[in-house]
Structure 1
């Protein structure tokens, strides 16, 4: 079972618990600024395999990660407790895999919010290129000092909107990662091997909402293609909850409140 923290004293089956899934290299602590702004809600924070308190645990694929998440929710919160899943990047892709599983028969999912998650690559050349890219990064994480790889990782264009202070803060927070564990997770959950989740999301009866940053032109373009209900947050890039935690929290609060009312 994955490491998790329940940030509430008591909840009822009338009140949903928000389940938070972080991105690659992160941990449940990544959500702290957002959760501070959402103190009136009940939260359940999970560390994904190879990360944080789950560092010693492994998974072989995205569906297996989803299974570990569902098992953890079921064991800690029970089958009846309503939950709303929020995932960022890798966490968003795992949330998609949860939707594409038998999870609804085992836990009470009310809605899903996806922050900057890719639904999948729809052509073979793109998958081949992505596998090569992920394999190279995995080799670096496995063989080089973690600090060296992190400095290079956060120079990628997708993180270009992080200011120097934010980038340094993220890198410092990531230095406790074990490179070999990240390497395994990176190849196990590579976007190159992910099934196309868009049809799954489009036909799901669950309320699904997509979030991306105004400065994240790549994922804005993808969001337009996905045609899912979408919010674009101003003055933010790929990592919306890190760059604009208060605005992200306000969006989550409004969406969860509206969704809960519509589902009741």
Structure 2
């Protein structure tokens, strides 16, 4: 059976963000990229919001699949994994996370992060012109998590995002804030399926997170930061090909 990889991009992500990675994957792997929700119901919890969105996507997806999520998409993938474990335990065959945060540990940390994301959301919503939006994007990519990106790489990111709606981005950032998310660390250790975590060696924060996760296979890309599929798609494709095709061979031999 052809393995199907359902892919979720990060904040401000678009389906074409994975084009370079998908082009390097084996023809024996089928990829489907989902568009993350923008218009979110603020009355719902993080998990309920993700479940509601995913249920609307589910009817278009195959019976069985693997999940791949980058950053925000990885956080949604963890919530989806929890939902599927409870409702469709045979559907999800494995979970791949790229630079994704499993969740904060205390109410204080969550409150601080929610305030931070709410402030950023306000900045996105306040943009009135294309030039203002470009400036907000520039400030976004000046955050420490993107510190290894070159000026040219940042410019490429900004140019690819300028057609997006700043107001919708603000809504997405606030409603899907890490500050509203439960901690899925225990979930990852309890899932009855393989979990793989990819991080860049230059991204010390998320590499440290990956090292602390129980029951997870952790892969680290040398000379790479937060966005591995952008910075080192060939390395990442090699890992995914090896993982999924080896599992396919094992399944076929049974």
Q: Give the TM-score, by structure 2 length.
A: 0.89
* TM superposition shift of 1:213: 0.2
* TM superposition shift of 1:66: 4.1
1:111 to 91, 94, 104: 94
Residues 192-235 of structure 1, C-alpha deviations (whole Å, 9 max, x = no match): 11111011111000111111001000111111221321000111
Is it true that 1:131 corresponds to 2:114 in the alignment? Answer: yes
Q: Spell out structure 1 runs of 4+ moving beyond 6 A.
A: none
Aligned to 1:58: 40
Structure 1 residues 59 and 259, CA, compared in 2 at 3 Å: closer, same or farther?
farther
Is it true that 1:44 corresponds to 2:32 in the alignment? Answer: yes
1:100 to 63, 82, 100: 82
> What is the Cα-based RMSD across aligned positions, in Å?
1.8
| Distance in structure 1 (CA, Å) of the matches to 2:178 and 2:158 | 23
* TM superposition shift of 1:184: 0.9
* TM superposition shift of 1:65: 2.5
| Distance in structure 2 (CA, Å) of the matches to 1:223 and 1:49 | 26
Matched position secondary structure for 2:25: coil
Residues 165-210 of structure 1, C-alpha deviations (whole Å, 9 max, x = no match): 2211111101111111111111111111111101111100011111
- Unmatched 5+ residue regions in structure 1? 1-13, 51-56
Equivalent positions of 1:247-258 (< 5 A) are 247-258=235-246
Aligned to 2:155: 168
CA contact (8 A) 1:66 1:95 kept: no
The alignment of Structure 1 onto Structure 2 pairs a total of residues equal to: 242
1:213 to 176, 181, 200: 200
CA contact (8 A) 1:115 1:212 kept: yes
Structure 1 residues 104 and 30, CA, compared in 2 at 3 Å: closer, same or farther?
farther
* TM superposition shift of 1:69: 2.9
Is it true that 1:183 corresponds to 2:170 in the alignment? Answer: yes
Q: Give the TM-score, by structure 1 length.
A: 0.86
Residues 68-119 of structure 1, C-alpha deviations (whole Å, 9 max, x = no match): 23531x32234x3x21111000000000001111466447211110000101
Equivalent positions of 1:16-55 (< 5 A) are 16-40=3-27, 41-50=29-38
Higher relative contact order (CA 8 A, sep 6+): 2
